[in-house]
Amino acid sequence: CECILLRRDGSCAIFNTTKNTFNKDGICVEIEHAEVINQKSVVSCNSGYHTNTTTCIKRGDVYPNTLICEYQKSTKCDSLSEMNTNKTCELTNCEHPNDLNGKCTTELLNCQSVLNAKCVECPNKMLLNGETCVLNDDEKCIKTYTSGCARCGFGFYYNLITQRCETCDSNCETCYYNSTFCMSCRSGTFLSEHDCITNEDLRDICMQFVPSGGCVKCVNGYYRNGLSCDKCDVKCESCYNTQKCLTCNTTNYMTINNDCKPQN
Protein backbone atom coordinates (compact mmCIF):
# COMPACT_ATOMS: atom_id res chain seq x y z
CA CYS A 1 0.00 0.00 0.00
CA GLU A 2 1.00 3.61 -0.52
CA CYS A 3 0.41 6.01 2.40
CA ILE A 4 -1.31 9.17 1.25
CA LEU A 5 -1.77 10.87 4.66
CA LEU A 6 0.74 10.69 7.53
CA ARG A 7 0.02 11.42 11.20
CA ARG A 8 2.38 13.55 13.30
CA ASP A 9 3.76 10.44 14.97
CA GLY A 10 4.78 9.05 11.60
CA SER A 11 2.04 6.40 11.36
CA CYS A 12 -0.21 6.30 8.33
CA ALA A 13 -3.73 7.71 8.65
CA ILE A 14 -4.93 6.83 5.12
CA PHE A 15 -3.54 4.30 2.67
CA ASN A 16 -4.16 4.09 -1.03
CA THR A 17 -5.55 0.59 -0.48
CA THR A 18 -5.96 -2.12 -3.06
CA LYS A 19 -8.87 -4.57 -3.25
CA ASN A 20 -7.58 -6.93 -0.55
CA THR A 21 -5.92 -4.47 1.87
CA PHE A 22 -7.04 -2.08 4.60
CA ASN A 23 -5.60 0.18 7.29
CA LYS A 24 -5.33 -1.61 10.62
CA ASP A 25 -3.92 0.69 13.33
CA GLY A 26 -1.64 2.46 10.87
CA ILE A 27 -0.44 -0.70 9.17
CA CYS A 28 -1.44 -1.85 5.71
CA VAL A 29 -2.89 -5.36 6.09
CA GLU A 30 -3.70 -7.78 3.28
CA ILE A 31 -6.87 -9.82 3.82
CA GLU A 32 -7.35 -13.12 2.02
CA HIS A 33 -10.78 -13.84 0.51
CA ALA A 34 -11.93 -10.21 1.01
CA GLU A 35 -14.45 -8.86 -1.49
CA VAL A 36 -15.17 -5.31 -0.30
CA ILE A 37 -12.87 -3.36 2.05
CA ASN A 38 -12.99 0.22 3.30
CA GLN A 39 -10.22 2.10 5.11
CA LYS A 40 -10.83 0.46 8.49
CA SER A 41 -12.72 -2.81 8.07
CA VAL A 42 -13.68 -5.75 5.88
CA VAL A 43 -17.20 -5.11 4.55
CA SER A 44 -17.78 -8.42 2.77
CA CYS A 45 -15.92 -11.60 1.81
CA ASN A 46 -15.89 -14.01 -1.10
CA SER A 47 -18.51 -16.77 -1.30
CA GLY A 48 -18.01 -19.34 1.46
CA TYR A 49 -16.50 -16.82 3.89
CA HIS A 50 -17.88 -14.21 6.28
CA THR A 51 -16.34 -11.15 7.90
CA ASN A 52 -15.78 -10.37 11.56
CA THR A 53 -14.84 -6.78 10.46
CA THR A 54 -11.08 -7.43 10.48
CA THR A 55 -10.67 -10.68 8.54
CA CYS A 56 -12.51 -13.31 6.47
CA ILE A 57 -13.38 -16.59 8.16
CA LYS A 58 -14.41 -19.78 6.41
CA ARG A 59 -18.16 -19.98 6.98
CA GLY A 60 -18.21 -23.68 7.85
CA ASP A 61 -15.75 -23.15 10.71
CA VAL A 62 -18.19 -20.90 12.58
CA TYR A 63 -21.54 -21.64 10.95
CA PRO A 64 -21.53 -25.31 9.88
CA ASN A 65 -23.64 -26.35 6.86
CA THR A 66 -24.36 -22.67 6.10
CA LEU A 67 -24.54 -21.18 2.60
CA ILE A 68 -25.29 -17.57 3.61
CA CYS A 69 -24.94 -15.83 6.98
CA GLU A 70 -25.85 -12.26 7.93
CA TYR A 71 -25.34 -10.34 11.15
CA GLN A 72 -23.45 -13.32 12.61
CA LYS A 73 -26.39 -15.71 12.03
CA SER A 74 -27.10 -18.39 9.46
CA THR A 75 -29.77 -17.24 7.02
CA LYS A 76 -29.55 -19.91 4.34
CA CYS A 77 -28.41 -23.54 4.64
CA ASP A 78 -26.62 -25.66 2.08
CA SER A 79 -28.44 -28.27 -0.01
CA LEU A 80 -27.88 -31.07 2.54
CA SER A 81 -29.21 -29.13 5.53
CA GLU A 82 -32.23 -27.25 6.86
CA MET A 83 -32.75 -24.52 9.45
CA ASN A 84 -33.75 -25.92 12.87
CA THR A 85 -35.56 -24.21 15.76
CA ASN A 86 -32.22 -22.97 17.13
CA LYS A 87 -31.62 -21.04 13.89
CA THR A 88 -28.66 -23.22 12.97
CA CYS A 89 -28.23 -25.37 9.88
CA GLU A 90 -28.82 -29.04 10.62
CA LEU A 91 -27.79 -31.86 8.29
CA THR A 92 -30.80 -33.75 6.93
CA ASN A 93 -29.11 -35.93 4.36
CA CYS A 94 -26.37 -38.20 5.69
CA GLU A 95 -25.53 -41.89 5.73
CA HIS A 96 -25.44 -42.31 9.54
CA PRO A 97 -27.84 -40.12 11.57
CA ASN A 98 -26.19 -38.99 14.81
CA ASP A 99 -29.13 -37.25 16.53
CA LEU A 100 -31.55 -39.17 18.76
CA ASN A 101 -34.39 -37.62 16.74
CA GLY A 102 -33.23 -39.69 13.74
CA LYS A 103 -31.68 -36.77 11.87
CA CYS A 104 -28.14 -35.66 11.17
CA THR A 105 -26.58 -32.80 13.07
CA THR A 106 -23.18 -31.23 13.57
CA GLU A 107 -20.82 -33.30 15.70
CA LEU A 108 -20.48 -31.81 19.19
CA LEU A 109 -17.11 -31.99 20.95
CA ASN A 110 -16.88 -34.66 23.69
CA CYS A 111 -20.63 -35.38 23.46
CA GLN A 112 -21.90 -38.97 23.62
CA SER A 113 -25.60 -38.37 22.77
CA VAL A 114 -27.28 -35.48 20.92
CA LEU A 115 -30.99 -34.61 20.88
CA ASN A 116 -32.31 -31.84 18.64
CA ALA A 117 -28.76 -30.57 18.06
CA LYS A 118 -28.10 -30.28 21.83
CA CYS A 119 -25.83 -32.46 23.92
CA VAL A 120 -27.79 -34.53 26.47
CA GLU A 121 -25.23 -37.14 27.54
CA CYS A 122 -21.48 -37.11 28.11
CA PRO A 123 -18.94 -39.94 28.12
CA ASN A 124 -17.68 -41.33 31.42
CA LYS A 125 -15.42 -39.02 33.47
CA MET A 126 -17.18 -35.99 31.98
CA LEU A 127 -20.19 -34.00 33.24
CA LEU A 128 -22.85 -32.02 31.38
CA ASN A 129 -22.55 -28.30 32.14
CA GLY A 130 -25.48 -26.65 30.36
CA GLU A 131 -25.13 -28.12 26.88
CA THR A 132 -21.37 -28.73 27.02
CA CYS A 133 -19.41 -31.72 28.31
CA VAL A 134 -16.66 -30.74 30.74
CA LEU A 135 -14.02 -32.85 32.47
CA ASN A 136 -15.04 -34.19 35.89
CA ASP A 137 -12.46 -32.63 38.22
CA ASP A 138 -13.90 -34.23 41.39
CA GLU A 139 -11.31 -36.88 42.34
CA LYS A 140 -13.74 -38.49 44.82
CA CYS A 141 -16.33 -39.24 42.11
CA ILE A 142 -15.67 -42.73 40.75
CA LYS A 143 -18.64 -42.98 38.35
CA THR A 144 -20.49 -40.23 36.49
CA TYR A 145 -23.84 -40.08 34.68
CA THR A 146 -25.49 -37.56 32.35
CA SER A 147 -25.60 -34.56 34.67
CA GLY A 148 -23.60 -35.43 37.76
CA CYS A 149 -21.79 -37.98 39.87
CA ALA A 150 -23.43 -41.41 40.12
CA ARG A 151 -21.17 -42.81 42.85
CA CYS A 152 -18.63 -41.31 45.22
CA GLY A 153 -15.68 -43.14 46.70
CA PHE A 154 -15.78 -45.00 50.04
CA GLY A 155 -16.47 -42.60 52.93
CA PHE A 156 -17.96 -39.88 50.71
CA TYR A 157 -21.48 -38.84 49.63
CA TYR A 158 -22.76 -36.71 46.75
CA ASN A 159 -23.94 -33.24 47.84
CA LEU A 160 -26.78 -32.18 45.50
CA ILE A 161 -26.28 -28.49 46.38
CA THR A 162 -22.53 -28.22 45.80
CA GLN A 163 -22.60 -31.07 43.22
CA ARG A 164 -19.42 -32.48 44.73
CA CYS A 165 -18.44 -35.59 46.68
CA GLU A 166 -18.01 -34.64 50.33
CA THR A 167 -16.71 -36.46 53.41
CA CYS A 168 -19.06 -38.47 55.65
CA ASP A 169 -19.27 -37.56 59.34
CA SER A 170 -16.51 -39.08 61.49
CA ASN A 171 -19.08 -41.40 63.14
CA CYS A 172 -20.07 -42.95 59.77
CA GLU A 173 -18.08 -45.43 57.75
CA THR A 174 -20.30 -44.77 54.73
CA CYS A 175 -23.21 -42.35 54.33
CA TYR A 176 -25.93 -41.19 51.93
CA TYR A 177 -27.97 -37.98 51.35
CA ASN A 178 -25.84 -36.04 53.84
CA SER A 179 -22.77 -36.46 56.05
CA THR A 180 -24.70 -37.79 59.08
CA PHE A 181 -27.11 -40.22 57.34
CA CYS A 182 -24.98 -43.28 58.09
CA MET A 183 -25.22 -46.46 56.04
CA SER A 184 -22.50 -48.36 57.94
CA CYS A 185 -20.43 -47.70 61.06
CA ARG A 186 -16.81 -47.81 62.08
CA SER A 187 -15.47 -50.48 64.46
CA GLY A 188 -16.76 -50.08 68.01
CA THR A 189 -20.08 -48.50 67.00
CA PHE A 190 -23.35 -49.90 65.61
CA LEU A 191 -26.06 -48.59 63.28
CA SER A 192 -29.36 -47.39 64.77
CA GLU A 193 -31.78 -45.50 62.51
CA HIS A 194 -28.88 -44.32 60.31
CA ASP A 195 -26.91 -43.08 63.31
CA CYS A 196 -23.73 -44.70 64.61
CA ILE A 197 -23.76 -45.06 68.40
CA THR A 198 -21.89 -46.94 71.14
CA ASN A 199 -23.03 -48.85 74.24
CA GLU A 200 -21.80 -45.88 76.26
CA ASP A 201 -24.42 -43.70 74.52
CA LEU A 202 -27.12 -46.08 75.87
CA ARG A 203 -25.71 -46.40 79.39
CA ASP A 204 -28.66 -44.56 81.09
CA ILE A 205 -31.48 -46.19 79.12
CA CYS A 206 -30.37 -49.82 78.61
CA MET A 207 -30.55 -52.63 81.21
CA GLN A 208 -28.84 -55.38 79.18
CA PHE A 209 -26.29 -54.93 76.38
CA VAL A 210 -25.16 -57.06 73.45
CA PRO A 211 -21.37 -57.58 73.74
CA SER A 212 -20.85 -56.66 70.10
CA GLY A 213 -22.85 -53.47 70.56
CA GLY A 214 -26.50 -52.61 71.13
CA CYS A 215 -29.25 -53.10 73.69
CA VAL A 216 -31.29 -56.26 74.42
CA LYS A 217 -33.51 -54.82 77.19
CA CYS A 218 -34.34 -51.16 77.89
CA VAL A 219 -35.15 -49.52 81.25
CA ASN A 220 -38.77 -48.60 82.12
CA GLY A 221 -40.04 -45.70 80.10
CA TYR A 222 -38.16 -46.85 76.98
CA TYR A 223 -38.75 -49.51 74.34
CA ARG A 224 -36.27 -51.32 72.10
CA ASN A 225 -36.00 -50.03 68.54
CA GLY A 226 -33.50 -52.12 66.64
CA LEU A 227 -30.39 -52.13 68.83
CA SER A 228 -31.22 -48.83 70.52
CA CYS A 229 -33.87 -47.55 72.98
CA ASP A 230 -36.53 -44.92 72.29
CA LYS A 231 -38.64 -43.11 74.87
CA CYS A 232 -42.24 -44.23 75.59
CA ASP A 233 -45.16 -41.84 75.56
CA VAL A 234 -45.38 -39.87 78.84
CA LYS A 235 -48.59 -41.70 79.87
CA CYS A 236 -46.80 -45.08 79.88
CA GLU A 237 -44.53 -46.57 82.56
CA SER A 238 -43.43 -49.22 80.07
CA CYS A 239 -44.43 -49.76 76.43
CA TYR A 240 -44.13 -51.86 73.28
CA ASN A 241 -43.75 -48.76 71.09
CA THR A 242 -44.83 -45.12 70.98
CA GLN A 243 -48.46 -46.11 70.29
CA LYS A 244 -49.00 -48.98 72.75
CA CYS A 245 -48.41 -48.96 76.53
CA LEU A 246 -47.53 -52.14 78.47
CA THR A 247 -48.15 -50.51 81.89
CA CYS A 248 -49.34 -47.00 82.81
CA ASN A 249 -47.57 -44.40 84.93
CA THR A 250 -48.78 -43.71 88.49
CA THR A 251 -51.29 -41.01 87.46
CA ASN A 252 -53.02 -43.10 84.76
CA TYR A 253 -54.99 -46.37 84.57
CA MET A 254 -55.27 -49.02 81.86
CA THR A 255 -58.61 -49.12 80.01
CA ILE A 256 -60.16 -52.26 78.49
CA ASN A 257 -58.79 -51.00 75.15
CA ASN A 258 -55.26 -51.14 76.60
CA ASP A 259 -54.96 -47.36 76.65
CA CYS A 260 -53.68 -45.26 79.56
CA LYS A 261 -56.13 -42.60 80.79
CA PRO A 262 -55.89 -40.07 83.67
CA GLN A 263 -57.30 -41.38 87.01
CA ASN A 264 -59.42 -38.24 87.62
Domain-wise residue ranges, the chain: 2-91, 136-195, 197-262
119 pLDDT more than 70: yes
pLDDT of residue 89: 83
CATH number at 197-262: 2.10.220
Give ∠ CA 22-26-29 in degrees, rounded to 5.
Answer: 35
0.75 exceeded by pTM = no
| High-pLDDT (> 70) share of the chain, % | 94
261 pLDDT more than 90: yes
Distance CA 206, CA 216 (A): 8
How sure is the predictor about 146, in pLDDT bands with cuts at 50, 70 and 90? low
Taking only the tens place, the pLDDT of each residue in 89-118 is 877 777 778 888 888 777 888 888 999 888
Strand 260-262 versus strand 126-129 pairing type:
unpaired
pLDDT of residue 258: 86
